[in-house]
């Protein structure tokens, strides 16, 4: 199974998945990274791993429809079976959504539907969790549709919020969980032959 990644910044979840494919924990092949950010750490990671990558954004393709078509062409050229959003900060275009219906996964650092939606990413989520006085947060893996964090939930796992947590300490603990949980969930999906449920 060929995995395609979309990432805007660090790409640490992508790296965790690549590492799992190299160790044999995940029977899949990292086939492509598409980034909207030429200087992202994700592109540096792809380069060091020898994985094909391309930069596609509003500079390379000012027309959103052309950008959408270019992304789809690149995904198809590399034989991508499953798309993984690893910190991708843009909406997915309608052509990619249609071609990869039920085959685009995102990971979100909370127990959706809590603390999701537009603008809720990274430390914004963890700050909102702490300000709400939550005792538990977690990680959600969901299908991607045309609304932020609204796709069908595939898997969730809880992470405790500790009394002395800061935004930074909570973020670090949730991220560690993301890396492990994404690999576990992908292994289940790959083993089932792309049956996402």
| Residues designated as active site | 108
List 83's β-bridge partners, or say none.
Answer: 4, 104
**57 is annotated as contributing to ligand binding:** no
Cα–Cα distance, 141 to 107 (Å, whole number) = 4
Length of the chain: 197
Annotated binding-site residue? 11: yes
Measured distance CA(142)–CA(6) in Å, rounded: 15
What does residue 103 show for φ and ψ, rounded to 5 degrees?
-130, 25
Distances in whole angstroms, Cα of residue 122 to Cα of each of 13, 142, 170, 196: 13, 16, 11, 25
Q: Using the 8-state DSSP alphabet, how is residue 90 labeled? A: S
| 197 assigned to a ligand binding site | no
106 annotated as ligand-binding: yes
User: CA 4 to CA 82: how far, in whole Å?
Assistant: 6
- Give the largest Cα separation in the chain, rounded: 49
- Give φ, ψ of 29 to 5 degrees: -125, 120
Residues comprising the binding site?
A: 11-13, 106
Residues comprising the binding site for (6R)-10-formyltetrahydrofolate?
A: 106
């Amino acid at each position: 199974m060929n995995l395609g990644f979309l990432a805007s910044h660090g790409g640490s979840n992508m790296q965790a998945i690549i590492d799992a494919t190299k160790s044999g924990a995940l029977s899949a092949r990292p086939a492509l990274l598409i980034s909207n950010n030429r200087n992202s750490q994700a592109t540096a990671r792809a380069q060091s791993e020898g994985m094909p990558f391309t930069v596609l954004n509003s500079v390379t393709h000012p027309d959103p429809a052309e950008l959408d078509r270019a992304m789809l062409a690149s995904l198809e050229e590399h034989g991508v079976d499953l798309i993984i959003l690893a910190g991708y900060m843009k909406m997915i275009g309608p052509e990619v959504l249609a071609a990869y219906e039920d085959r685009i996964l995102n990971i979100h650092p909370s127990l959706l539907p809590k603390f999701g939606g537009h603008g809720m990413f990274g430390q914004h989520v963890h700050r909102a969790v702490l300000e709400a006085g939550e005792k538990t947060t977690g990680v959600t893996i969901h299908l991607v549709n045309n609304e932020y964090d609204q796709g069908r939930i595939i898997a969730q796992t809880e992470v405790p919020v500790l009394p002395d947590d800061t935004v930074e300490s909570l973020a670090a603990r949730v991220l560690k969980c993301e890396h492990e949980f994404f690999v576990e969930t992908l292994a289940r999906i790959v083993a089932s032959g792309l049956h996402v449920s």
